[in-house]
Structure 1
């Protein structure tokens, strides 16, 4: 057998992966799904040390709005480095931070920016969520949080408590004591077993009546947190009317409404911020991922009436990431100038339409859903009996095989949703028409091949 020279020197694909397995924690995730060693990347392409090339439909879990190493991002980073600007100044004011704040406020929903304050958090979405909870608990004097089944808000204690995944919360006792979980509209697997618009109406009615019931067990909460499109929950979009109902219900009861835009923001869903689809004005928005232009950055933007913190009430060493602010400014401005949110809406609708059309020929596709370039393809057992809403049981084994088959075809996709049975597509907003076709062709071939093998194996 011929051994690649890089493998002999210990710098090759297999050697690097083996060292990762032996040295990194067992909590690593994406490295288990994708046994690749990226060495170069540009736009939507990733190339491994072994020379293999992949179309990246994970995009840093939605972080890479402009794909890998976009020229405007690289230019902003180089310009900042060459300028001699300090790369770390805690939360001091800098020209780069000032420009970033201007660019960010220019994108905010109408009626929000003119009364908004921004808090620079530790550079992760989960810290932004923690900051939002602490802010509203301080402002209201209450403790409890309202969140939704299927939601995901991060891995630190408060954010994890508000998330829906039982597996990640199980080893951490007691953290969910102050969280009331509510039913999120999910037409394909409706929590009320009715689906469609009726399921969304029941969710709103249940929420309102629970909050007003003196024997319902819910103490007046400090805030409600919601994703306008659930990301890790399987690309499940909330109906706009339902979002408007959540705004009405919270406003009438003086409950601050927090919108988690960590994964949905910066054009991902076909609007600059996913909350804009419904036209509501929230009390706070948590933002991270794409706002840093691929570098770590997180902010909490909120109505000035809630700004009751004392100095240092929520602080952190790495709140002043100068390079991320420069890259973020470039990204925010480019997405706006190039109309990439609008393009995401058009391209996403085209992709969803084509995937929906495959359901008759590929019955393992149970549901196709999403908004903009945040798409989920839920895989099911086509031979099982459907439930009352017409949904068949999830098929996580097929989903894992499809993910592997996609990787073999040069396509990176990740799983999410219930039992990790939903293939999630999060391509960069700069995806070309040719790349759209390549992604869909490779995914279709992967699903067809895996399900054909399963069928032939069952029949034999």
Structure 2
């Protein structure tokens, strides 16, 4: 567990307002004074990035950080990858229009060809694509509207722990109570189903038994004439919950969800906004289970670091009238060019397989921390989408042996990571899970450094408390 002192800054640099001579202090102060109180990442990371390459971000104060946030999973190839920059420069130099609404362009055509080449064959062979506003939440809205149009139904099946965006329909599907409570009338017609979560199993049994109960509950609820569920327009699910704490769904459970929905003619929507483009060790997370959804919601990494969002869906559902889901910024030429280059590079270089390999090694090393550090309750994930759930080992465990969440400890660990030159973010229940989303181009040395710095941060935060408890 080494702290890498070459990357550390003086203590004063950790306070963004402590040094008036700091090049970034004024920028941070103006942001604090002018931006809305809804800002999030800026509160956790009081830095002003001025340069970035690959996994490394440099702040205005000269400090360098290993970025394990990657734009919340957007930067599949890290910051400023050469193939992305070359695609952007080539497009700019070509004189291509940068804004074209939904008109056809060579850049769009190339993007669609490259994207369809990566899709599960059972979908790509009969798929349609719709370009949405440039954010995943708008693509979720589009998917829900499309399924309502196609089925004539209104209801939605969604899951505990799920996150699908912050616009009205997407927020209704999202499970986080804190962000939903202040907004009236958004939960109508959403039936919340239990997502398999072995460490904090909703049925109190854990493991595969919990997943089997989840599937049985879902099937019986839908078939119960007194279950209170009107036939829904769709089911929406994440193959690996991201904001929910890097919780992978068992492949067998996903196959059950596909069977249950298919037998009842309920369209299955899989949200691949964060899991796509190699993140989980397959190009798309659905490939692990072999299921073919009716709709895939795609954003983040597909734009090669620039804003882009689409849905791809089976042609049988293409019942929209012209303008049924439109938007001014659906024709982002630069994002399509950058996205094409990214998709092509990930496929050509086998970076999904690389994510599986490196992520597996990181998962093994992180798993070993459970024996060394009692505050580590659970380690999980898939590919380069990893989570370390921090707990209070002095608390009362639940029926599955899970200790109470430790959100304050997690926040302190995040800050300690930043001191050590590592950017990580939190998620999961009570924001007690440290989430790791490094770019697919992470080197072996960087992977080792990430685990070293995280382990050192956890030990530094928790050792004094443990010593006090043993005294």
In structure 1, what is the equivalent of residue 321 of structure 2? 310
Does residue 325 (structure 1) correspond to residue 319 (structure 2)? The answer is: no
Which of 369, 373, 376 aligns to 1:358? It is 369
1:391-449 deviations in whole A, cap 9, x for unaligned?
11110111000000000000000000000000000000000000001101000100011
Which of 27, 37, 62 aligns to 2:38? It is 27
Is the CA contact 1:10–1:16 (under 8 Å) kept in the aligned structure 2?
no
Query: Structure 2: where are the runs of 5+ without partners?
Result: 1-11
3-state SS in 2 of match to 1:47: strand
TM-score (norm 1): 0.98
In structure 1, what is the equivalent of residue 257 of structure 2? 246
Shift of 1:388: 1.3
In structure 1, what is the equivalent of residue 233 of structure 2? 222
In structure 2, what is the equivalent of residue 261 of structure 1? 272
3-state SS in 1 of match to 2:414: helix
In structure 2, what is the equivalent of residue 185 of structure 1? 196
Shift of 1:456: 3.6
448-457 vs 156-165, greater mean Cα deviation: 448-457
Is the CA contact 2:22–2:61 (under 8 Å) kept in the aligned structure 1?
no
Matches of 1:10 and 1:388, distance apart in 2: 54
In structure 2, what is the equivalent of residue 427 of structure 1? 438
In structure 2, what is the equivalent of residue 212 of structure 1? 223
Shift of 1:8: 9.6
Q: 1:252 and 1:360, CA in 2 relative to 1: closer, same or farther beyond 3 A?
A: same
Is the CA contact 2:276–2:285 (under 8 Å) kept in the aligned structure 1?
yes
Matches of 1:321 and 1:297, distance apart in 2: 7
Shift of 1:385: 2.6
Does residue 173 (structure 1) correspond to residue 174 (structure 2)? The answer is: no
Which of 340, 348, 351 aligns to 1:337? It is 348
Does residue 392 (structure 1) correspond to residue 403 (structure 2)? The answer is: yes
Which of 17, 31, 47 aligns to 1:36? It is 47
CA RMSD of aligned residues (A): 1.5
Matches of 1:297 and 1:285, distance apart in 2: 14
3-state SS in 1 of match to 2:386: strand
Is the CA contact 1:351–1:436 (under 8 Å) kept in the aligned structure 2?
yes
In the TM superposition, 1:345-384 aligns within 5 A as 345-384=356-395
Please identify runs of 4+ aligned residues in structure 1 that moved more than 3 A: 7-11, 456-460
1:73-94 deviations in whole A, cap 9, x for unaligned?
0000000000000000000000
Does residue 63 (structure 1) correspond to residue 71 (structure 2)? The answer is: no
In structure 2, what is the equivalent of residue 48 of structure 1? 59
Is the CA contact 2:19–2:25 (under 8 Å) kept in the aligned structure 1?
no
Does residue 417 (structure 1) correspond to residue 428 (structure 2)? The answer is: yes
1:288-327 deviations in whole A, cap 9, x for unaligned?
0000000000000000000000000000000000000000
172-181 vs 264-273, greater mean Cα deviation: 172-181
